[in-house]
C-alpha cells in the first residue's frame, strides 16, 4: 500500500448517463455519495468521438453544486479553457499530448483560480510531467485509450502511480485513474497510491451504485 495522506475521491463519469436525463444523473451521482462529477469533453479530433461542450458544463453548474471535474480530450485545449472556467468547472484537466506549450496552458488555468490537472495516455511516460509537477494539482493516468466509455482496463497504467508518488516527494498531489475501473480492479488501484477514482460503466450499470461507490472509495474489505 503506497501512502499519500490524501482523501480518496470518487468521480462518476457522466458520459455513461442517458444524455436526455442529465439533471437526474447529476442528482443520482450526489445521492450515491460521490465526490466529483467527471465530465468527458471530446472533440472528434484528439479522440475519435464527440460528446459535449461548454454549454453542458454551464447547465450542470446551474443545476448542481457538485465539484465539476472537467476532462478535456480536446486538441489545443487552450482555445477553450477560459470558456470552460467561466461555465463553472472546478478542475480542468488537459492532455499533455494535446497542447504544445503545456507550461503556458497550466498557467492559463491556474491564473483563473481553478484546479489544474494534466492527463497522460497509456503509452505516454510519467517523466514527461516531471518538471510541471510543482505547478499542478492532479495527474490523470488514463487506463484506456481515451474516446469511449466501457473499454477494458489497461493494467500497466498501475505501474505509473508508485513511481509518480516517489517523484512527488514532499508535495503529494491527487492521482486520478480513468478507464475500465471496476469493483474487480479497485483494490490494486488503491494499493498503487491512486486516490481519485473515475468510473462510468461500473457505477451507471451497477444494481446498487451506493454500494459500488463505497467499494470504489474503500476497496473490497
Three-state SS across the chain? Answer: CCCCCCCCEEEEEHHHCCHHHHHHHHHHHHHCCCCEEEEEEEECCCCCCECCCHHHHHHHHHHCCCEEEEEEECCCHHHCHHHHHHHCCCEEEEEHHHCCCHHHHHHHHHCCCCEEEEEECCCCCHHHHCCCHHHCCEEEEECCCCCCCCCCCCCCHHHHHHHHHHHHCCCCCEEEEECCCCCCCHHHHHHCCCCEEEECHHHHCCCCHHHHHHHHHHCCC
Taking the complex as a whole, the smallest distance from the CB of residue 193 to ligand DX5 amounts, in Å, to: 20
Q: Nearest approach, Cβ of 221 to ligand DX5 (angstroms)? A: 22
Chain positions contacting ligand DX5, by CB under 6 A:
13, 15-16, 38, 40, 71, 144, 146-151, 178-181, 198-202
**Known catalytic residue: 65?**
no
Q: Which residues bind Zn ion (CB under 5 A)?
A: 40, 71, 178
Q: Based on CB atoms, which residue is closest to Zn ion, 75 or 130?
A: 75
Query: Which one of Zn ion, ligand DX5, none interacts with residue 117, CB within 5 to 8 A by kind?
Result: none
Query: Which residue number has the CB closest to ligand DX5?
Result: 200
d(CA 192, CA 176): 11
The residue with its CB nearest to Zn ion is 71
The listed partner (ligand DX5, Zn ion, none) that binds 180, CB under 5 to 8 Å by sort, is: ligand DX5
Distance in Å, CB of 150 to ligand DX5, minimum: 4
Name the active-site residue from 40, 43, 69, 174. 40
Cβ proximity to ligand DX5: between 172 and 201 the closer is 201
Shortest separation between residue 147's beta carbon and ligand DX5, angstroms: 5
Q: Which is nearer to Zn ion, 119 or 126 (CB)?
A: 119
Q: Is the distance from CB of 6 to CB of 13 less than 8 angstroms? A: no
- Is 40 catalytic? The answer is yes
Q: Which three cell numbers stand for residue 202?
A: 461500473
Q: Which position among 69, 131, 178, 187 bears the catalytic label?
A: 178
Nearer of residues 12 and 193 to ligand DX5, judged by Cβ: 12
Catalytic residues: 40, 178
Amino acid at each position: 500500500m503506497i501512502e499519500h495522506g490524501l482523501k480518496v475521491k470518487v468521480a462518476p463519469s457522466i458520459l455513461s448517463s442517458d444524455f436526455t436525463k442529465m439533471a437526474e444523473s447529476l442528482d443520482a451521482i450526489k445521492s450515491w455519495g460521490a465526490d466529483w462529477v467527471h465530465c468527458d469533453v471530446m472533440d472528434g479530433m484528439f479522440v475519435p468521438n464527440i460528446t459535449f461542450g461548454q454549454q453542458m458544463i454551464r447547465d450542470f453548474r446551474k443545476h448542481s453544486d457538485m465539484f465539476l471535474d472537467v476532462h478535456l480530450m480536446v486538441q489545443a485545449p487552450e482555445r477553450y479553457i477560459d470558456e470552460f472556467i467561466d461555465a463553472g468547472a472546478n478542475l480542468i484537466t488537459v492532455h499533455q499530448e494535446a497542447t504544445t506549450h503545456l507550461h503556458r496552458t497550466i498557467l492559463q488555468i491556474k491564473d483563473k483560480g481553478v484546479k489544474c490537472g494534466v492527463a497522460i495516455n497509456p503509452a505516454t511516460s510519467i517523466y514527461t510531467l516531471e518538471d510541471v509537477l510543482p505547478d499542478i494539482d492532479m495527474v490523470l493516468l488514463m487506463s484506456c485509450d481515451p474516446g469511449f466509455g466501457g473499454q477494458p482496463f489497461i493494467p500497466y497504467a498501475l505501474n505509473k502511480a508508485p513511481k509518480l508518488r516517489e517523484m512527488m516527494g514532499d508535495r503529494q498531489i491527487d492521482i486520478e485513474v480513468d478507464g475500465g475501473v471496476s469493483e474487480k480492479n479497485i483494490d490494486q488501484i488503491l494499493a498503487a497510491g491512486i486516490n481519485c477514482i473515475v468510473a462510468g460503466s461500473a457505477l451507471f450499470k451497477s444494481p446498487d451504485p451506493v454500494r459500488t461507490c463505497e467499494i470504489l472509495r474503500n476497496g473490497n474489505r
